[in-house]
Amino acid sequence: MTVRERLRSISLRQRVTLLFVATGLLASITLSTASYLTARSYILQRRDEVVERQAFNNAQLIRSQIRSRRSEAFELISNVRTEQGGFAVLHLQPENLFFSQEIRYTQAAFPTELVDAALTGVTARQRFTIDEQPYVGVAVHIADIDVQYFEAFPLDDEQRTLTAIGSALIVGVVIVAVLAGLVGVAVGRRIMRPLERVSEAAGDIAEGGLDTRLDSEVDPDLARLVTSFNGMADAVQARIEREARFASDVSHELRSPITALAAAVEVLDARRADLNDRTQQALDVVISQVRRFDQMVIDLLELSRLDVGITDLHPEETELAPLVRRIAQRYGATELVVEVQADSDGVAAIDKRRFERIMANLIDNARLHGGGATRVVIGEAPKEATDDASAQSTVFVAVEDSGPGVTPSERARIFERFARGSAGRSRAGGTGLGLALVAEHVRAHGGRTWVEDSPTGGARFVVTFPKGDA
């Protein structure tokens, strides 16, 4: 995975936090580096001024004494007061003799460049290390007596000071990074809060809450977002309600001519004996199509009421198995087997009228397209079968048949209105709205609907209902 792909996989809130952390780190590191370099330059510059002044003072003392005591050079260099940890070396140019204050440190302890510069008549200064300890060396050329004076000054205190400053700056960088991260988290939350409200409102609208709107915002940019979203929601609600009213009005207006057709067909059916065989066959087709048309209009009216939320839900805890058996007998499936799994008491919170409509449609669908329902299974629904893993327990009701089943590519759209599976297109009967009504009634209960393969062959239509009070 490339860096760009990794960045795209990070959420917006995390990217805002990372941006603040990176900006804070960059700014703090830049300022800390500049501060450290400035402090280091200032400390070392002040130290150089001090050591030069002291080296010149000691060189002046040597100059004043060595004129009359040149033979006592060793004693003179030994009496020079150097800093603790420092040392001095005296060189007599004509004699080419070096006299060290400390036996441990001779002219060899100084950098070669510094010694050579002094021997050529140049006064110089240079930093160096001895056993990893920092020093600054000063070489003073005393021309009138042809003598070179070398003195080394320890930089331990300065090194400790710089180390302390560096450590403090590193701690500061870490603190700034942490604070920048916290600020980034806070800003990210503040930035995401309006988007989360938009997401929640969109989710509520998708679940049927068409009157959901966003509250007004003071911020001009967010106010534009709120205005645009609420305008879109108004347009969507108006269009859906207009389409729902249109479907409801059309279905309602069709009831009168269908009722008249049904009455006329009943009159013709009552005089069937006066009709010849060909006319009787045509009458049977008309009777079946009028009844199918009448059922379709009834289903459309019911869907229209569900769309606009006119139908209320009245749930009550009910033992499902006896109710399923009564519904099956009422709709001609007297031999239907009803099983309750051992891990379930078969009790759910349902609206009995809606539940009867659900079971009637599933049994009728199995009769039309699956050779008839063979078994109804009632049990506890697994957690993954619910939309929310933290929701209350649910009970499933599965209606199985022995038909050709439903192909995986058709299982999602088979619950859409007027959708038919490939197995049902060649069969007469049905309105194409039965499973859509099942899905709407189950959704009103807060459950889910899906179809899968039956263990015994055929299709298995499963619906879920809440275990406790709805």
Query: pLDDT tens-digit profile of 58-82?
Result: 999 988 888 788 888 888 888 888 8
Indicate if 299 and 323 belong to the same structural domain: no
Residue percentage of the chain with pLDDT more than 70: 86
Indicate if 30 and 142 belong to the same structural domain: yes
Task: Calculate ∠ Cα 310-316-318, nearest 5°.
Answer: 130
pLDDT at 456 exceeding the cut of 60:
yes
Would you state the pLDDT for residue 236? 83
Residue with the bigger pLDDT between 138 and 295: it is 138
Indicate if 248 and 378 belong to the same structural domain: no
- Do residues 90 and 99 lie in contact, with contact meaning Cβ atoms separated by under 8 Å? yes
Q: Which of 253, 286, 308 is the last residue of a domain?
A: 308
CATH number at residue 296: 1.10.287.130
Would you state the pLDDT for residue 323? 92
Report how far apart, in Å, the C-alpha atoms of 3 and of each of 7, 14, 15, 55 are. Answer: 6, 15, 13, 58
Would you state the pLDDT for residue 427? 52
Q: Over the chain, what is the mean pLDDT?
A: 83
DSSP three-state, residue 89: strand
Domain span including residue 323 = 316-466
pLDDT at 469 exceeding the cut of 70:
no
Would you state the pLDDT for residue 468? 63
Residues found in the chain? 470
The residue-averaged pLDDT of 390-410 equals 83
- 266 by Cβ neighbours in 10 Å (0-12 / 13-18 / 19+) ranks as exposed
The residue-averaged pLDDT of 224-232 equals 87
Report how far apart, in Å, the C-alpha atoms of 259 and of each of 196, 281, 290, 293 are. Answer: 51, 22, 9, 10
Indicate if 338 and 225 belong to the same structural domain: no
CATH number at residue 126: 3.30.450.20
Indicate if 437 and 370 belong to the same structural domain: yes
Indicate if 149 and 225 belong to the same structural domain: no
pLDDT at 153 exceeding the cut of 90:
yes
Q: Which residue, 85, 106, 89, 74, is CA-closest to 149?
A: 89
CATH number at residue 346: 3.30.565.10
The model's confidence at residue 441, banded by pLDDT at 50, 70 and 90, is confident
Q: Return d(Cα 401, Cα 290) in angstroms, integer.
A: 28
Indicate if 239 and 377 belong to the same structural domain: no
Domains contained in the chain, number: 3
Alpha carbons within 13 A on the beta-carbon side of 234 = 7
Assigned domain for 203 exists: no
Rg, Å, the chain Cα set: 48
The model's confidence at residue 294, banded by pLDDT at 50, 70 and 90, is confident
Residue with the bigger pLDDT between 426 and 330: it is 330
Indicate if 45 and 92 belong to the same structural domain: yes
Would you state the pLDDT for residue 423? 55
Residue with the bigger pLDDT between 132 and 256: it is 132
Residue percentage of the chain with pLDDT more than 90: 28
Assigned domain for 57 exists: yes
Assigned domain for 332 exists: yes
Alpha-helical runs (H) found in 85-155: 112-119
Indicate if 412 and 290 belong to the same structural domain: no
Greatest mean pLDDT among 220-229, 257-266, 317-326 lies in 317-326
Indicate if 431 and 289 belong to the same structural domain: no
Indicate if 389 and 448 belong to the same structural domain: yes
The residue-averaged pLDDT of 154-176 equals 92
DSSP three-state, residue 69: coil
pLDDT at 385 exceeding the cut of 50:
no
Q: Which of 259, 281, 308 is the last residue of a domain?
A: 308
Assigned domain for 3 exists: no
Assigned domain for 136 exists: yes
pLDDT at 175 exceeding the cut of 90:
yes
b/e per residue, 152-184, with b = 16+ CB within 10 A?
A: bbbbeebeeebeebeeebeeebeebbeebbebb
Assigned domain for 215 exists: no
Indicate if 460 and 331 belong to the same structural domain: yes
The residue-averaged pLDDT of 323-347 equals 88
- DSSP strands (E only) in 264-336: 316-319
The model's confidence at residue 377, banded by pLDDT at 50, 70 and 90, is very high
Alpha-helical runs (H) found in 332-414: 352-369
> Can you read off the two tokens belonging to residue 26?
């960059």
Q: Return d(Cα 165, Cα 170) in angstroms, integer.
A: 9
pTM value is: 0.52
Give the dihedral sign, CA 357/374/369/263.
negative
pLDDT at 171 exceeding the cut of 90:
yes
Q: Return d(Cα 4, Cα 305) in angstroms, integer.
A: 50
Would you state the pLDDT for residue 421? 60
The model's confidence at residue 1, banded by pLDDT at 50, 70 and 90, is low
Residue with tokens 């007469």: 428
Q: Which of 134, 160, 186 is the last residue of a domain?
A: 160
Element (H, E) at 311: none
Assigned domain for 175 exists: no
Would you state the pLDDT for residue 5? 66
Would you state the pLDDT for residue 53? 93
State the pairing for strand pair 347-350/316-319: antiparallel
